[in-house]
Structure 1
Amino acid sequence: MTLTETKKAFATLGKFLSQFSEGNTIKNESVPHNDTFFDDFVNLIQLSQSHNGWFTPEQVYFATQSWAEALTEDNLDKWLSNYIINYTEPKTVGLVLAGNIPLVGFHDFLSVLITGNKTLVKASSNDQHLLPFLAKYLVTIEPKLANRIKLTEGKLENFDAVIATGSNNTARYFEYYFKDKPAIIRKNRNSAAILTGNETKDDLIALGEDIFRYFGLGCRNVSKLFVPQGYDFKEFFEAIFTYGDVIHYEKYANNYDYNKAVFLMSNFKLLDNEFMTLKEDTSYASPISSVFYEYYSDLDSLQQKLEAENEQLQCIVSNGLIENSIPFGQTQKPALWDYADNVDTISFLLEI
């Protein structure tokens, strides 16, 4: 099998996924194997919430569209243009996937296959259905992929390298268990936004997308705000009122009520808009329905702090205030070349 054939298969998958969006799912007769897969994928999206209560159709459609936009021939070519990829000695790469947001491990799955290697996938119990379905579609498009995709429910065995994602606690287990193999071990990370008080209402509404998409469960979700001394949160609250309907989702509402009660019983001072709380805190990892904030005195000192604590951070959002920050509203739309933890997965795979 060649790199060209693998890219073509994933580009075709992108076309398949492009048919599915909330309120506008339209069957494209030119997409291969729609008769077999289209209706089943519609049903899977609708059933996803029964498999994982956080995987509402809205969130799964968003993930689907994000991957449809990423998996184009142009994007695949641009992504891989800086690498020399040979399919001469395929290795088996174990993937231990997270399940916090829909298809969160798909980039690792794609990276292994696009580099000519074999996947040995252990899916999270929270996301056991979406990726296997897409893998089945890929094999139908390109049967040569069949011997390069294996899914397992047991422990990983007979692999050459591993990419494992989990919490800080599980990462310690991964580091011990996989100590004799080349590995990428991912731990907890969070994302932060820097505000100055000069943001427009549109900026702040877009920031709400970074906060509330996937109910805030992703490492790319903003869970911490850095604001200047004396910052007035009035405009921030007015802008994110756009997302107030989130409180009507029972699982989110239960977290809001619980976490707010815990904070209040601990006599913490809170800012509250009836669907989200703001708490002054130096930590990055805030609970669901809450965002932490911290004051800064000047941007130079803040940048030094962020550089010192970069291993806790996945993304930083701002209006270009610091190098490599992401524009408001874009955290959950990473490009193929935006690597988790800034670790180049393709280079790792080419070196094993």
Structure 2
Amino acid sequence: MELQNRINAFVKLGAFLEQFTNKVPGRNENVEYNDVFFDGFKKQLKLAEERNGWFTSDTLRFALNAWVEALSLEHLTAWLQPYHITTDPQKEVAVIMAGNIPLVGFHDFLSVLITGHKVLVKQSSNDKHLLPYLARYLEHVEPQFKGLIRFTDEKVQNFDAVIATGSNNTARYFKYYFRDKPAIIRNNRNSVAVLDGNESLEDLKALSEDVFRYFGLGCRNVSKLFVPRNYKFDLFFEAIYHWHPIIEKVKYANNYDYNKAVYLMSEFDFLENGFFMIKEDAGYSSPIATLFYEFYDDPDELREKLDRDKEQIQCVVSRGFMENEISFGQTQHPKLWDYADSVDSIKFLLSI
């Protein structure tokens, strides 16, 4: 199959997904195979929401919107332009997916197929409803994909390479188990923001998107702030207040209540506003409904620290603080070429 055929199929998938990005899905009669797939995907979205309390309708629509934007002809072409992708014999690539946010493994799925390989997918039990249905849609709009996509609930075997994502403990197992295969192994990472105290209310409102989107469950969510010594959090709390309806979500509220109780019983110092807490802590991975913070005195020393800890960090949100920083409010809008852990998965897939 030619590369352009693969690109065109994913562009059509993006057009299909666009119908589901509003509160009320709107059928576009120009989208292919709607008579077969439109109503079925509505049911899959409902199932995803029912089976995973973190996958609210708002969260699902946000994820779909992100992929609609990415799966444009312009973005796909720009992403692949630097690479020499041929139609060499395919390899079978196992993709072991996380399930923390909807379709979190879709980039790996896309990358394997767009480079001409076969994909063997092992999904997380937390996110099992959407991708198999979208794979069927791809096989309809481009029949040459048939036979290239497999899903399994069993231990993956009979593959040539692997891309696996999991917790730190799981990643250690992956590294051992897949030690004889070409592999990309990803573990836990967190994102941070560096403030200098001169941020406006609008800057901090934008930052709140990086903190709260997906309930803070993604590796691109900001879980820690670095702030100047004696920083006052009044403006920060004002900026995040519009997120207060999040406490109405049962799973979030349960985590908030639990973590608050732990902090109180442990006599930790923390600040809170009825739906969110901030706590001074040297760690990077804060619990749900909590944001860690750490004071800094010397910006250069902080840059050195972030460089030393780069294996723990996915994104750095700041303004004019360092190279490769991300602007406030943009962590959940990655481009196709913003590779997880800065590992170029296309380059990897073309090398196996």
Confirm or deny a common fold (TM above 0.5).
Answer: yes
Counterpart in the other structure of 1:302? 302
State yes or no: 1:247 paired with 2:253.
Answer: no
1:320 shift after superposition: 2.8
Q: Distance in 1 between matches of 2:156 and 2:139?
A: 22
Counterpart in the other structure of 1:210? 210
Counterpart in the other structure of 1:155? 155
State yes or no: 1:71 paired with 2:45.
Answer: no
Letter in 1 for 2:332: Q
| Deviations 1:252-307, CA, capped at 9 Å, x for gaps | 00000000110111111001011010000010000000000000112111111000
Counterpart in the other structure of 2:184? 184
Letter in 2 for 1:74: E
Which stretches in structure 1 are left out of the alignment for 5+ residues?
A: none
Q: Distance in 1 between matches of 2:211 and 2:43?
A: 28
Q: Distance in 2 between matches of 1:61 and 1:40?
A: 16
Q: Secondary structure at the match of 1:155?
A: coil
Q: Distance in 2 between matches of 1:41 and 1:205?
A: 33
| Deviations 1:302-324, CA, capped at 9 Å, x for gaps | 11100000000001111232111
Q: Distance in 2 between matches of 1:217 and 1:187?
A: 14
Q: Secondary structure at the match of 1:268?
A: coil
Counterpart in the other structure of 2:339? 339
Q: Distance in 2 between matches of 1:31 and 1:319?
A: 41
Letter in 1 for 2:274: E
Letter in 2 for 1:235: L
Letter in 2 for 1:265: M
8 Å contact from structure 1 (residues 118, 149) kept in 2: yes
Q: Distance in 2 between matches of 1:58 and 1:319?
A: 29
Letter in 1 for 2:192: A
Letter in 1 for 2:23: G
Letter in 2 for 1:8: N
Counterpart in the other structure of 1:116? 116
Of 157-166 and 44-53, deviating more is 44-53
8 Å contact from structure 2 (residues 48, 128) kept in 1: no
Counterpart in the other structure of 2:167? 167
Of 290-299 and 34-43, deviating more is 34-43
1:61/1:340 CA distance change after superposition, 3 Å: same
| Deviations 1:92-120, CA, capped at 9 Å, x for gaps | 00010000000000000000000000000
Counterpart in the other structure of 1:32? 32
1:24 shift after superposition: 4.9
| Deviations 1:174-232, CA, capped at 9 Å, x for gaps | 01110100000000000000111111111111111111111000000000000000101
8 Å contact from structure 1 (residues 219, 314) kept in 2: yes
Q: Distance in 2 between matches of 1:208 and 1:42?
A: 30
State yes or no: 1:128 paired with 2:137.
Answer: no
The aligned length equals 352
Q: Secondary structure at the match of 1:282?
A: coil
State yes or no: 1:41 paired with 2:70.
Answer: no
Identity rate, percent: 59
8 Å contact from structure 1 (residues 22, 57) kept in 2: no
Q: Secondary structure at the match of 2:150?
A: strand
| Deviations 1:51-109, CA, capped at 9 Å, x for gaps | 21111111011000100000011101100010001111210000100000000000000
Q: Distance in 1 between matches of 2:35 and 2:320?
A: 46
* Paired residues for 1:199-278 under 5 Å: 199-278=199-278
Q: Secondary structure at the match of 1:87?
A: coil
Of 61-70 and 45-54, deviating more is 45-54
Letter in 2 for 1:148: L
Q: Distance in 2 between matches of 1:179 and 1:52?
A: 33
Counterpart in the other structure of 2:13? 13
Q: Distance in 1 between matches of 2:267 and 2:16?
A: 52
* Paired residues for 1:73-92 under 5 Å: 73-92=73-92
Q: Distance in 2 between matches of 1:87 and 1:286?
A: 45
Counterpart in the other structure of 2:93? 93
Q: Distance in 2 between matches of 1:225 and 1:90?
A: 44
Q: Distance in 2 between matches of 1:121 and 1:93?
A: 8
Counterpart in the other structure of 1:146? 146
Letter in 2 for 1:52: N
8 Å contact from structure 2 (residues 45, 129) kept in 1: no
1:27 shift after superposition: 1.3
Task: Report the TM-score, using the length of structure 1 for normalisation.
Answer: 0.99
Q: Distance in 2 between matches of 1:241 and 1:115?
A: 44
Give the alignment's Cα RMSD to 1 decimal. Answer: 0.8
8 Å contact from structure 1 (residues 190, 221) kept in 2: yes
Counterpart in the other structure of 1:62? 62
Q: Secondary structure at the match of 1:147?
A: coil
8 Å contact from structure 2 (residues 278, 292) kept in 1: yes
